[in-house]
A = this chain, B = another copy of it.
Amino acid sequence: MNGLKFDLITTDGNARRGRLNTAHGSIETPAFMPVGTAATVKGMRPESVAETGAEIILGNTYHLMLRPGAERVAALGGLHKFMNWPGPILTDSGGYQVMSLSDLRKIKEEGVRFRSHIDGSYHDLTPERSIEIQHLLDSNVTMVLDECTPYPATEKQAAESMRLSMRWAARSKEAFVKRPGYGLFGIVQGSTFPDLRHESIQALSNIGFDGYAVGGLAVGEGRDVMFSTLDFTTPAMLQDRPRYLMGVGKPEDLVGAVARGIDMFDCVLPTRSGRTGQAFTRRGEVNLRNTRHKDDHRTLDEECTCPCCTGYSRAYLHHLTKSKEILGLMLLSWHNLHYYQILMAGIRDAISNGSYADFADAFHLQYNAGDIAPL
């Protein structure tokens, strides 16, 4: 079939257990997608990313269009081959990074003009060009170009921004080339306003997409507002299509968003935190730069089976982090990605068993109880 087949396997409350099938393999959902911004998950070999259990990664259109360039990637066989990741790939539309990274961007009805943060060169990104770029990259899950509405926004600002995104969504759909195992996701906008979110969902459903993302969250509104926005957004979304919460988040965000019916996530946190000595564990966040670890022979998490936790002491990780040694970020990025995937596997099992509420309670209890006592 053209597009992406999504199997909704079971539900537990609003939490959903599913499977998304792509030309490059299937993805068990709820799924967490590591971010491979510039055709690499930072500090990780792709084999190692797969070893953590990740089944799909995200690539950033903004970065890849600027360097090495979408046409070049296509000539080299597509992004999968280029970066040696044979599994599914989702690409964003470039819109978010244009807003957050580029200089002198200007939004018009046609699209957005911006200057590269790399060399200052001018570029135009339209819905059609974004879709073309993602096609050239050979992305399995293409995202429509949208404007990520800044937070906070007035209802008027949010409405105008959302409606522009809906017109761009229609143009994106028009430009998308259908292929079996490849699909296009729409993005729900509307900030924190229920009527606007519902209007956006209706507009996207009328166009028709393989999946639907919730955009415009994790932009400074805080966890409570994010969750309350999901509370009135996801129930209005199609049941039989995957739902993707973009740019989220911390472990607690994932657990809470799954309870609110989200199937897919992406976030730079596991790798970015790994680069600054920050680890995510069952017991919460652990800062390896803290001197309390300097003589600690214990591993980061004695139950974790990742290479970081099976081979090294906290004292060694502290040493690497303090010394700014590359191996420190390599091991902590690996551990964090591993932890995220273990968390998602636990989430999936709990939904399958109909015990998601208990799982979430146990997760919070342990996650907030704090790290092991100092030596």
A residues contacting B by CB (< 8 A) are 38-40, 42-47, 67-68, 72, 75-77, 82-84, 294-295, 297, 307, 311-313, 315-316, 318-320, 322-323, 325-327, 329-331
Q: Which of B40, B82, B327 contacts A45 (CB 8 A)?
A: B327
Bound-complex Cα distance A42 to B77 (A): 31
Asked if A42 and B316 sit within 8 Å, CB to CB, the answer is no
Q: How many copies does the complex hold?
A: 2
Across-interface contacts of A72 in B (CB, < 8 A) = 294-295, 315
Asked if B315 and A44 sit within 8 Å, CB to CB, the answer is no
Beyond known contacts A39-B320, A72-B294, A82-B313: 18 more, CB 8 A cutoff = A39-B319, A42-B327, A43-B326, A43-B327, A43-B330, A44-B327, A45-B307, A46-B311, A47-B307, A67-B319, A68-B319, A72-B295, A72-B315, A76-B297, A82-B315, A84-B312, A84-B316, A326-B326
Bound-complex Cα distance A297 to B322 (A): 39
Across-interface contacts of A313 in B (CB, < 8 A) = 76, 82
Across-interface contacts of A75 in B (CB, < 8 A) = 295
Bound-complex Cα distance A316 to B72 (A): 10
List 22 contacting pairs A-B, 8 Å CB cutoff, sorted by A: A38-B325, A39-B316, A40-B325, A40-B327, A42-B327, A43-B330, A47-B307, A67-B322, A68-B315, A68-B318, A72-B294, A72-B295, A72-B315, A75-B295, A76-B315, A76-B316, A77-B297, A82-B316, A84-B311, A84-B312, A326-B326, A326-B329
**Separation in Å of the A322 CB from the closest CB of chain B?**
7
